[in-house]
Amino acid sequence: MSSRQHFPAPVWTKTDIEGFLDRHFTQARSFGTEILLIEPGYLRAQLPFDKRFLRPGGTISGPTQMTLVDTVFFYLILAHLGDEALAVTTSLNINFLRKPAQAALIAEARLLKLGKTLCVGDATLFSEGDDRPVAHAQLTYSIPPKRVPVPPSAIG
């Protein structure tokens, strides 16, 4: 049974996420990640190839791959929780499995746990056109507690 079936339907669409990023987190938009698919517990995205991502030896750099997995996992959280601008990475562990091709990177992010304070999941990267993974990451995000507004009259 797919882990996607254990999570509620996403509350935000690709358009919602992109609008949020345009208003609140333009750095994430400037990276170039394109959302391809959002499903319960799952998000698939693509990072178009750009020579600026290459390191010596002609491979896509590790920091580029780490940024991509962190970015798509943040998008996955936004898709499922909506406006959680203050959700932050608390853990990211990545294994680089093979040299990526000089092609777009495809990222698949999956939720394993979507709790009130923690969100745990993984992300796998593929070179476009190749179903062999080039990297796999495990991620944990901290979800901030909901704040209840305190009226000024209650502060005394």
Q: Is the pTM of this model over 0.85?
A: yes
Distance (Å) of CA 108 to CA 54, 86, 105, 138, 145? 21, 22, 10, 12, 27
What is the pLDDT, as a whole number, of residue 155?
62
Instruction: Please state the domain extents for the chain.
Output: 3-145
Residue 151's pLDDT band, with cuts at 50, 70 and 90, is low
| Mean local confidence (pLDDT), 108-121 | 96
Question: The domain 3-145 is classified under which CATH number: 3.10.129.10, 3.30.720.110, 3.30.1300.10, 3.40.50.150?
Answer: 3.10.129.10
Is 146 a residue whose pLDDT tops 90?
no
Is 55 a residue whose pLDDT tops 90?
yes
Is 70 a residue whose pLDDT tops 90?
yes
What is the pLDDT, as a whole number, of residue 83?
87
